[in-house]
Homo-oligomer: A and B are copies of this chain.
Amino acid sequence: MSGNTFGKLFCVTSFGESHGPAIGCVVDGCPPGLELSEADIQPDLDRRKPGTSKYVTQRKEEDKVRILSGVFEGRTTGTPIALLIENTDQRSYDYAKISQVFRPNHADYAYIQKYGIRDHRGGGRSSARETAVRVAAGAIAKKLLREKFGIRVRGYLSQMGDIEIAFKSWDEIDRNAFFAPDASRVPELEALIDTLRSEGDSIGARIEVVATNVPPGLGEPVFDRLDADLAHALMGINAVKGVEIGDGMKVAAMRGTEHRDEMTPDGFLSNHSGGVAGGISTGQDIVCAIAIKPTSSITTPGKSIDSEGKAVDMRTTGRHDPCVGVRATPIAEAMVALVLVDHWLRNRAQCGDVVPETPRITG
């Protein structure tokens, strides 16, 4: 109820602050019999972790995950899988001086108003560090989707500031630290980061996530639509301010003749709807996108208040990403994967033995 559990059948309960002893989660509801070890999870954590290039924060967190339960002799047992990541690089002295002031556009002020108390070290629970946990849980979801259900979830950076990057191929994405789908554009991105660093500024970004080979029938028809649950999952990522499915916000200006996805015996003729109709997957690719705001922690001073309500001028130091969107691709993939696994299981519960008479068309 305090909102630290995600999912209804494949449930992830997250815990931990950026500067406490550890962060982690409990994954409850993973089917038994899946081969699983830390080696299945670590690669996704490594994709997200800070310090991998000079274009992201230079904090050095190892993000080493340990499985504490739920796996026996290399396979899941159907019982809760606890994942633990110990915090190692926690220079909380960096944060001591901000304990009595509120960083603009951070959760600091909202936290103190809500709880009357906050762990000011690195944002505590509101730190982007918490997303490591989601990536870890998502790695299990992704493996389950891939190996048991045949579904693949992948994302990429499609925009940073004014730089829009057209999709070239999935192979490009692993060849650069930006998750850009066209590696030839990377020098532009690097130049932008360099400029921002020198100007004490930051920039927003846009990420696309695509899930392929999703069967039709996932999602519930009214409140817990597949797209609604994707929106919940994606808007719940730190710094996300917009979520789109298929054509997204552009549909406001579109006509019905242009937007509708016609069907033929050989499949759909387009995918404007992003693979979801009436809240239920159609069998086409699930396509969604998020916009991530520019990092709020910048070195250009800004106006704020302190804990007594007095005006202060605030300049955030510390080691921050000029573009938090750069490391967000694995997080967005993880959240989409968690939604899909959850709905796959929900669908199996209610409609597990349905054999539709209407033939399935390809996506």
Contacts and interface: CB of A to CB of B under 8 A. Distances in A.
A43 interface: no
A2 B220 contact: yes
A1 B5 contact: no
A62 interface: no
Contacts of A105: 259-261, 272-273, 277
A329 interface: no
A1 B9 contact: yes
Contact of A109 (B294, B357, B358): B358
Interface stretch (A45-53, A169-177, A280-288): A280-288
A319 B70 CA distance: 24
Given A111-B280, A223-B3, A232-B231, A253 B204 contact: yes
B117 A32 contact: yes
Contacts of A273: 105, 241, 293
A150 interface: no
A204 B277 CA distance: 16
Interface in A315-363: 325, 345-361
A295 interface: yes
Interface in A291-316: 291-296, 298, 300, 302-305, 307-311
Contact of A2 (B21, B29, B247, B281): B29
A223 B1 contact: no
| Chain A contact patch, size range | 35 or more
Contacts of A296: 256, 259-260
A355 to B, nearest CB: 7
B294 A78 contact: no
Nearest to A246: B241
30 contacts: A2-B28, A4-B26, A5-B11, A5-B13, A14-B222, A17-B70, A26-B26, A31-B350, A33-B116, A104-B262, A105-B273, A113-B215, A113-B216, A113-B283, A114-B351, A115-B351, A115-B356, A116-B356, A126-B278, A160-B252, A203-B256, A206-B249, A228-B236, A238-B278, A243-B243, A247-B293, A251-B292, A257-B298, A262-B302, A346-B349
Give 9 nearest A-B pairs by CB, closest first: A107-B278, A3-B220, A3-B224, A114-B217, A228-B236, A202-B256, A232-B232, A231-B235, A349-B349
